[in-house]
Amino acid sequence: MQASQVSAFENNLAELCGKVTSLFPLWVVLAAIGALWQPALFTWLPTSCITYGLALTSELLPRPQPPTFWSTSYTGIICWR
């Protein structure tokens, strides 16, 4: 898609998503404080389901690309360039 075809809404949404994700450390700290303050907020998932929840979450998230100074060899091992 060319830049001229991107709507103002899409630009605003991309900017908002960038700001929200850049504040990820803040969300983690707030969640930790919330867990210490009210543990019941974080006990809704039974212990037996935690592994499945993590597996589902990791499958739904996009895979990050390695930085440019890393390369993947043909064996799939990440090597320093």
Question: pLDDT tens digits, residue range 39-74?
Answer: 888 888 788 888 887 787 777 766 666 555 555 554
User: Which pLDDT value is given to residue 8?
Assistant: 87
- Each residue's pLDDT tens digit, 18-34: 888 888 889 889 999 99
Please determine, for residue 81, whether its predicted confidence score (pLDDT) is greater than 50: no
Please give the Cα distance from 7 to 1 (Å, whole number): 11
Please give the Cα distance from 20 to 10 (Å, whole number): 15
Q: Quote the distance between the C-alpha of residue 52 and its chain's center.
A: 17
The conformation of residue 61, written as its DSSP 8-state character, comes to: S
Of 2 and 17, the structure prediction assigns the larger pLDDT to 17
**Region of residue 62 (left: phi > 0; alpha: psi -120 to 50; beta: else):** beta
The pTM score is 0.49
Question: Rounded mean pLDDT of the chain?
Answer: 76
Query: Are the C-beta atoms of 69 and 80 separated by less than 8 Å?
Result: yes
**Region of residue 52 (left: phi > 0; alpha: psi -120 to 50; beta: else):** alpha
